[in-house]
Amino acid sequence: MQRAVTTRKRTSLAGWLTEPTLAGMRRRKALLGYLFVLPTILGILVFTAGPVLVSFGLSLYKWNVFRPPTFVGLENYTRLVSDTRVLVSFANSARFVILAIGLQIVFSLLLALALRQRMATWMRYYFRTTFLLPFLLSGAATGVVLSYLLHQEFGVVNYYLGLLGIPRIPWLTSSDVVLYTVVLAYLWQFVGFSLITMLGGLSNISSEVLDAAEVDGASGWNWLWQIVLPMLSPTLLFSAVIGVIGGLQIFDQPYVMTRGGPGDASRTAVMTLYEAAFKNQEIGYASSIAVILFVVILAITAFQFAMSKRWVFYQ
Amino acid sequence: MQNQGLNRRQFLQMAGVGSAAVMLAACVPAQPAAAPAADGEGAAPAKETVVLRVQGDPANETPLLEPFRQVHPDIDLEFIAVTGIDHEEIASKILSMIAAGEQIDFGYSATEALQLYAGQGLAYALDEFIQRDEAEVAEYFADVHPSLIEAMMYEGSVYELPFDFNAANMYYNTQLFAEAGVDHPADNWSKDDFLEVARKIAKKDDSGQTTVFGYAWTNRLWGSWMPWIFVNGGNLFTEEKAPGGEWLWSTFYADDAAAAGRGGGYRWVTPTANSPAVVEALDLVVTLTSEGTAPAIEMGGGQTLQGFFADNKLAMTPAGGFWAGGLANAGFANGSFDVQLFPSWKSQRHQFGTGGQWISAQGQHKEEAWTYSKFRISQEGMKLWYGANGIITTPSRRSMLVAEAFAETGPAHWQVFYDTLDKHPDTAPIPAPPISNPMTTLFTSYTGRAMTGELSPQQAMDELQKELEDLVARSQDIMYPQG
């Protein structure tokens, strides 16, 4: 009898939803909520979770797209851990992130504090726009221009350095220098984005707190270290998380500027992934690199959030 | 009372199924609109126009289109421009496009990609077309050196008919040569002659920085330091000939001595990157850079070097006929540059690359694609193309390399281009096996590591050798047939 009742109720969806009871109202409310989040859930499933799962599946195969895939188990992963080019590219990405994101946060914070000083409104807008403009440009386009500007022999940068008596710097042709060049190029382009974030964060700090600190005599380093940075910590966390995720995925600008060279000195993890997938048609191997990169990014992001409990303060 | 209604999990399941059904429904193609009624029931159907999707530069091909359409009004061409810093990058993009399901009926590829496409089964062998239209294409073969044809063969079959080629000859800046009191080098000038000239012209300022370079090259497969490997008697791989192709040589080159011993295309089988000849060649170019005679190398197709050359900051560089057109387009005056054969070392065997149109094996319009390709390599087609575009690359036809073709642009010794093939018939294509893309990445990477001093030439080539051996071992499925 109980089974018959259940079947009858389940087949009457309209009745279940329109039931004029408190439970029915809750159901209708819940339905509305689900309908609103449905596009997002579908988007995540189709465009994020799906590709991640497919990548993991593909990483267990040898496949060049034009021939049927062959199951190879964990062979791609065992090859990956002994592939010095891939290991070097991950190390390059890590060095890049530490340098670029660290400097990006420091510079953008300093610039934001500088822009917070009293100045004419038009100057404030001018500086904000000037710093943000490079962020609006394409990484590939800036890469082309920068590679000309930074040419060792006839680049404009070395020309002016030469006028100051500074020898030509092998910006793009020395293994020891090239990664720093890539970091500089990244900073030039992306510091404006962090600057806007920092300005937003600073403007969110309660004026009562800042006034109270001033009354209590906080100034200079104490004011920055004891008041501003703790209050700005959510913004710093955001910048660090977004910066690390983006930094580990850096591709277009260094690829256009150096093609990973000289040697492998500026080859990043995504560059090896791209080369494996699109130059070498090793889709399975490229997928294994993608999976490892995904795991690395996930682990670092999780670590950042876990550590944030110790230093991030929400007002 | 127990709630027997739908719980949230069940509802989500239903919602998921419902959404999937909606999406599937949306994916069903709409019914085609009804065709408009014919003017009359007895009207004969007009011949359908075939639209070929072509990978190529529409600007360059435009001069051929109208004359072609006049003869073949039922064939139209839709161009897909694919750009890249070098041939292997273009090939990567094309492979990605094909993998993504984009239809390409035919396209252009250079030596770098021929075996890559053919080895993957993407390119269609032209043998049946050539044999069928023997009378029509015989004149073409009579005009083209057999080494170019052989370079476009793979495992006994022809996959492309060469439209252009570029051997790495030595371009030089006549003003810098004159200032240094150096004459046009002899045909058989040696590596030592070259070094003497390069070092004589190179100039440094008081701080020891080079202001004028004697020699420069870019890091890539063709050109690069590959010409030094070839003249030193080396190669990155052992060179073998695939069986087959006898029908072609006996049909079109029966009386040509340069065709003797040719086979069914090249096979680059075993890596020889750390052979003494290759290491010695690398050592030579490393020395030139470390002493300041040559600049630090960079990746790319050589456009930067054209700027160097135009500013009289560079005396010599390896390049093919394409450089003459490039320099002329850049405003370099006729007479301000010239060209000579590459210097001899243990031999004077040059390296070249050639290019032509390949037809997609998956394409639905192979016959029409062949019709256009045939027109493009005809005398009329090539004259139209080169007449409108200039000599921006070296025509594969000997008959097109004549004085008037270079009268406006130079170089004065334009004969060098075809002499490379005629006087040195052992001249051969750059090594470009079906694994040429990853091979090129490895080659340029280790070249870079040697040129920056990160590794010695011997260390760099030992490591390259090991990586090439690994690459060959794991790519047996796309390498040459065994046995």
Helix or strand (DSSP H, E) at A130: helix A121-132
Hunting for tokens 């004359």 — which residue is that?
B67
CA nearest neighbour of B51 among B76, B83, B32, B34:
B76
CB contact under 8 A, B6 and A10: yes
Q: Could you tell me which residue, A25 or B347, shows the higher pLDDT?
A: B347
Among A27, A258, A263, beta carbon nearest to B454:
A263
What is the model's pTM? 0.86
CB contact under 8 A, A279 and B437: yes
Q: Is the pLDDT of residue B2 over 60?
A: no
Residue B34 has a pLDDT of: 38
The pLDDT tens digits of the residues spanning B262-275 come to 999 999 999 999 99
Q: Which of A88, A158, A259 to mutate to test the interface with B (most CBs of B within 10 A)?
A: A259
Low-confidence stretches of chain A (pLDDT beneath 50)? 1-2, 4-7
What is the percent of chain B where pLDDT is above 70? 89
Handedness of CA B177, B180, B185, B189 (dihedral sign): negative
pLDDT mean across residues, chain B? 89
The pLDDT tens digits of the residues spanning B192-209 come to 999 999 999 999 988 888
Among A residues 252-311, those touching chain B with beta carbons less than 8 Å apart? 258-265, 267, 275, 278-282
Over range B427-442, report the average pLDDT.
95
The pLDDT tens digits of the residues spanning B234-261 come to 999 999 999 999 999 999 999 999 999 9
Residue A83 has a pLDDT of: 94
Among B92, B96, B449, beta carbon nearest to A262:
B449
Antiparallel, parallel or unpaired: β B50-55 and B75-80: parallel
Over range B118-125, report the average pLDDT.
93
φ/ψ of residue B308, rounded to 5: -55, -50
Cα nearest neighbour of A260 on chain B: B445
Q: Which residues of B touch A42 (CB under 8 A)?
A: 19
**ipTM for the complex?**
0.83
CA distance B9 to chain A (A): 12
**Alpha-carbon distance B224 to B278, whole Å?**
13
Over range B370-379, report the average pLDDT.
97
Q: Is the pLDDT of residue B26 over 50?
A: no
Whether residue A28 lies within 8 A of chain B, CB to CB, comes out as no
Q: Which residues of B touch A152 (CB under 8 A)?
A: 295-296
Residue B306 has a pLDDT of: 82
Cβ burial, residue A46 (10 Å; 0-12/13-18/19+): exposed
Residues of chain A with CATH 1.10.3720.10: 75-311
The pLDDT tens digits of the residues spanning B137-165 come to 999 999 999 999 999 999 999 999 999 99
Instruction: Give domain A75-311's CATH architecture.
Output: Orthogonal Bundle (1.10)
φ/ψ of residue A52, rounded to 5: -65, -45
SS3 content of chain A, % helix, strand, coil (to 5): 75, 0, 25
Q: Which residues of A touch B295 (CB under 8 A)?
A: 152-153
Antiparallel, parallel or unpaired: β B314-319 and B210-215: parallel
Whether residue A208 lies within 8 A of chain B, CB to CB, comes out as no
